Amino acid sequence: MFILVNGLIAGLGLAAFLALGDGLFDTQTFPVLIDLSYVPGMENLPSIVELLIHLLISVIIAFFLMHFYPRERGAGSFKYLGIWMLGFAVAFLPFSLLSNTPMTWLAFLIWVLGHLLYTIMLAIQVGRNR
């Protein structure tokens, strides 16, 4: 239950941050996050269904991030979270290309900051739970 709740909260936080960034800076990071039109059979899903799928993926990611989180505090935790952040940052390129959305440095920055927020939210909850 802990992972489910925290995965949903962090996923909603990420979605809200990207939507806010899109509204403020006219970028297209939120559609990159939820777009599934490139998956066969999911071309015409309503946005709310795409968001729910994103939240399911968020819970799965939260499970793995929290399950394998290093027991010791310090440099090991930062390295572990840094690897997750690198993965999230790299994911922007293929998802942008698949979603046919314009790639800009500003959109990439918002994407990275949003995923940093996501990672920090989960790391804080792991720290509080231990």
Is residue 54 within 8 Å of 15, Cβ to Cβ?
A: yes
| Distance (Å, whole) CA 40 – CA 3 | 29
Q: Rounded distance, CA 76 to CA 41, Å?
A: 41
What is the enclosing helix (H) or strand (E) of 106? helix 105-129
How many folded domains does the chain comprise? Answer: 1
User: What's the pLDDT at 77?
Assistant: 82
Closest CA to 36 of 49, 22, 26, 25: 49
Q: What is the pLDDT of residues 33-63, one digit of tens each?
A: 999 888 888 888 899 999 999 999 999 999 9
Q: Which residue range forms the structural domain that includes residue 32?
A: 2-129
Which residue stretches of the chain have pLDDT < 70?
130
